[in-house]
């Protein structure tokens, strides 16, 4: 079974600051291309034994944005 989906990935435009030694660590984090909106789709996996649930859910990106990662889902 092949599943094709759409994801958000990559780096966003950013600038490297000169005063890295003097900045707190949170100020140095890189913005990434991350999910603005997404939904889950479900596929049925053929050939599973009767005692196994044959469904697999996976995320599909609807739109993306540049920003910090939300560790709840990224």
Q: pLDDT tens digit string along 17-27?
A: 666 666 676 66
Share of the chain above pLDDT 90, in %: 36
Q: What mean pLDDT is predicted for residues 26-50?
A: 85
Confidence of residue 32 (pLDDT cuts 50, 70, 90): confident
Domains and CATH numbers, the chain: 1-73 (2.10.90.10)
User: Strand, helix or coil at 68?
Assistant: coil
Confidence of residue 47 (pLDDT cuts 50, 70, 90): very high
Tell me what pLDDT residue 19 has.
Answer: 63
Tell me what pLDDT residue 12 has.
Answer: 77
Please tell me which residue, 50 or 73, carries the higher pLDDT value.
Answer: 50
Please, which residues have CB within 8 angstroms of residue 39's CB and are 6 or more apart in sequence? 59, 60, 62
Stated as kind and residue range, the H or E segment containing 69 is: none
Query: Rg of the chain over CA atoms, in angstroms?
Result: 19
């Amino acid at each position: 079974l092949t599943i094709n989906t759409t994801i958000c990935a990559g780096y966003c435009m950013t600038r490297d600051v000169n005063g890295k030694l003097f900045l707190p660590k949170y100020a140095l984090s890189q913005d990434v291309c991350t999910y603005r909106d997404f939904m889950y789709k479900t596929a049925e996996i053929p050939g599973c034994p009767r005692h196994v649930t044959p469904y697999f859910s996976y995320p599909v990106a609807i739109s993306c944005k540049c920003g910090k990662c939300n560790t709840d889902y990224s």
